[in-house]
């Protein structure tokens, strides 16, 4: 019997025979949540019966390794105690394993306090029966820009994708650029995006840069003939950036523009989009989206380039919420009435650089279908949330589908007809990552869109329909909830 035991820094493979245990240990780069190439090739040679996990928690790496290592039990994850009982491991061996598990778990919990909220949300599900199959053996030559406080440029697995050749990386800060190059094992670096775009060997660029520069950087890449993906939002602050970005995409229709909105590859939203397209819900009567990022009073804010995070308002970062309508239907919002809340002690309310005093903003939007949508961006205490739900004419979805007779009939017919509402398997070496197991899927979707010449999961129209409504929601909140019309976009 063979099993794989995984924790943050070590993978131990136990090959059980009647007479002995063979134990082999391979280091794993925990900060990148991925296998070294030589180790990955070695791991693929194993056929695993069970994947063993700590009794306290299971990280996404284990689920991925089950698939990578061809687990015979279809990703059945068992605890150390369960395995000890079924395999008759000796007391000494079991105690050794348990000690390692406990030590690793404590180490993981100690590290968790340092993790940026959202990055630790790695739990996800996918159809393990569907093995990833390459569409092409071509490698897209890419550049990645932006390491920053979050080490964000390398979070999406592009550097590990089998259809990618990482040509160069860049960050404005030399020490961060060097760290990025080391972690990505990339020999070429550029001091800025402005220099990188001049490299004719690069076909595509991922811009994990400061939010106010997203539109400008995307335009710069496309003007140099390169496919481009950016982090969210599509723009921040200057609504004229929306028109400039759209016009650039119109002029470069042969290039892929993608926005990496993480909510779109949450398990629930992924299923919602498929079911909506199949007509299961009918029209959406009501939807909700919630992005809640708690911040302790008096604690230092998350660092950002030129302090851009301190110079905005909640609804300028709306896409984790608005995706729960736009990302489901690929439709738009027509108008919004929004209210904001600041500190309850009015004497402590100090307007920031744009005159904003609100810590949280909640908007009620009218949708293109005629329905209503409540979207929230919140900085109050409680759990970290990127969540949402929908209610349609025949059914709704709040973590699971519930429908009336018509909706249930449509649902079962769609599933019986082969509709896939679980996420697909990722390429070898690419892991789902944080923000609901979305990172790896967004990176893979970008590369696949380039190879197939198709639209990405979030194209420029969806990107603007997720971002622009937040700009007008904040204007509404500054006018005590006055209803504001929202521009409509098309290519």
The string of pLDDT tens digits covering residues 105-134 is 333 333 334 578 888 889 999 998 888 999
pTM for the model: 0.79
What is the residue-averaged pLDDT of the chain? 82
Residue 349 has pLDDT above 70, yes or no: yes
Map residue 272 onto helix, strand or coil. Answer: helix
Q: What is the pLDDT of residues 210-247, one digit of tens each?
A: 999 999 999 999 999 999 999 999 999 999 999 999 99
Where b means 16+ CB within 10 Å and e means fewer, 163-201 reads bbebbbbbbbeeebbebbbebbebeebbeebeebbebee
Fold adopted by 2-112: Nucleotidyltransferase; domain 5 (3.30.420)
Number of residues written out for the chain = 491
Tell me which of 149 and 317 has the higher pLDDT.
317
Q: Provide the pLDDT for residue 212.
A: 96
**Can you tell me the mean pLDDT for 79-85?**
43
Q: Provide the pLDDT for residue 296.
A: 64
- With a CB cutoff of 8 Å and minimum separation 6, the contacts of 92 are none
**H-state helical runs in 238-344:** 240-251, 267-277, 319-329
Q: Using CA atoms, how far apart are residues 300 and 438, in angstroms rounded to an integer?
A: 27
Structure tokens that stand for 490 in this block: 């098309």
Residue-wise DSSP of 65-80: HHHHTT-TTSS-EEEH
HSE-CB at 23 with a 13 A cutoff on CA atoms is 8
Q: Using CA atoms, how far apart are residues 344 and 363, in angstroms rounded to an integer?
A: 20
Neighbouring CB atoms inside 10 A of 78's CB total 17
- With a CB cutoff of 8 Å and minimum separation 6, the contacts of 62 are 4, 6, 51, 53, 77
Q: Provide the pLDDT for residue 128.
A: 81
The residues spanned by each domain of the chain are 2-112
Q: Using CA atoms, how far apart are residues 429 and 42, in angstroms rounded to an integer?
A: 12
Q: What is the pLDDT of residues 284-317, one digit of tens each?
A: 999 999 999 987 666 666 778 778 888 899 999 9
Residue 34 has pLDDT above 80, yes or no: no
- With a CB cutoff of 8 Å and minimum separation 6, the contacts of 121 are 384, 386, 434, 435, 436, 437
Residue 97 has pLDDT above 50, yes or no: no
Q: Using CA atoms, how far apart are residues 63 and 74, in angstroms rounded to an integer?
A: 10
**Can you tell me the mean pLDDT for 146-168?**
96
Q: Provide the pLDDT for residue 10.
A: 32
């Amino acid at each position: 019997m063979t099993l794989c035991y995984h924790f943050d820094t070590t993978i131990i493979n136990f090959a059980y025979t009647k007479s002995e245990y063979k134990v082999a240990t391979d280091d794993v780069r925990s900060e990148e949540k991925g296998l070294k190439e030589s180790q990955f090739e070695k791991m693929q040679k194993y056929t695993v019966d069970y994947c063993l996990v700590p009794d306290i928690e299971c990280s996404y790496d284990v689920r991925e390794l089950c698939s990578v290592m061809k687990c015979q039990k279809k990703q059945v994850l068992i605890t150390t105690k369960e395995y000890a009982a079924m395999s008759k491991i000796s007391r000494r061996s079991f105690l050794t394993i348990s000690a390692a598990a406990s030590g690793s778990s404590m180490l993981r919990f100690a590290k968790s306090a340092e993790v940026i909220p959202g990055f630790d949300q790695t739990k996800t599900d996918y159809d393990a029966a569907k093995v990833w199959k390459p569409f092409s053996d071509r490698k897209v030559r890419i550049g990645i820009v932006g390491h920053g406080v979050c080490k964000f440029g390398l979070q999406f697995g592009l550097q590990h994708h089998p259809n990618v050749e990482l040509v160069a990386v860049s960050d404005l800060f030399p020490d961060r650029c060097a760290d990025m190059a080391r972690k990505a094992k990339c020999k070429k670096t550029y001091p800025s995006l402005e220099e990188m775009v001049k490299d004719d060997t690069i076909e595509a660029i991922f811009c994990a840069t400061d939010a106010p520069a997203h539109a400008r950087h995307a335009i710069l890449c496309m003007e140099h003939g390169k496919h481009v993906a950016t982090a969210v939002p599509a723009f921040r602050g200057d609504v004229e950036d929306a028109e400039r970005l759209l016009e650039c995409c119109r002029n470069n229709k042969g290039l892929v523009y993608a926005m990496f909105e993480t909510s779109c590859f949450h398990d629930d939203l992924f299923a919602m989009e498929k079911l909506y397209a199949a007509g299961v819900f009918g029209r959406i009567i009501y939807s909700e989206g919630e992005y809640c990022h708690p911040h302790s009073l008096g604690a230092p804010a998350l660092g950002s380039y030129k302090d851009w995070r301190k110079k905005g308002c909640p609804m300028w970062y709306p896409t984790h919420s608005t995706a729960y309508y736009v990302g489901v239907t690929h439709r738009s919002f027509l108008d919004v009435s929004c209210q904001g809340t600041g500190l309850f002690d009015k004497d402590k309310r100090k307007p920031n650089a744009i005159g904003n005093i609100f810590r949280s903003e909640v908007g009620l939007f009218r949708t293109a279908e005629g329905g209503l949508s409540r979207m929230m961006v919140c900085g109050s205490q409680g759990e970290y949330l990127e969540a949402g739900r929908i209610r349609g004419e025949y059914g709704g979805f709040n973590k699971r589908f519930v429908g009336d007779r018509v909706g249930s009939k449509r649902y079962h017919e769609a599933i019986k007809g082969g509709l896939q509402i679980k996420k697909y398997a990722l390429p070898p070496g690419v892991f789902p990552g944080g923000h609901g197991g979305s990172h790896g899927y967004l990176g893979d979707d970008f590369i696949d869109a380039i190879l197939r010449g198709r639209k990405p999961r979030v194209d420029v129209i969806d990107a603007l329909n997720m971002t622009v409504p937040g700009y007008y929601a904040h204007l509404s909140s500054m006018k005590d909830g006055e209803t504001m019309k929202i521009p409509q976009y098309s290519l």
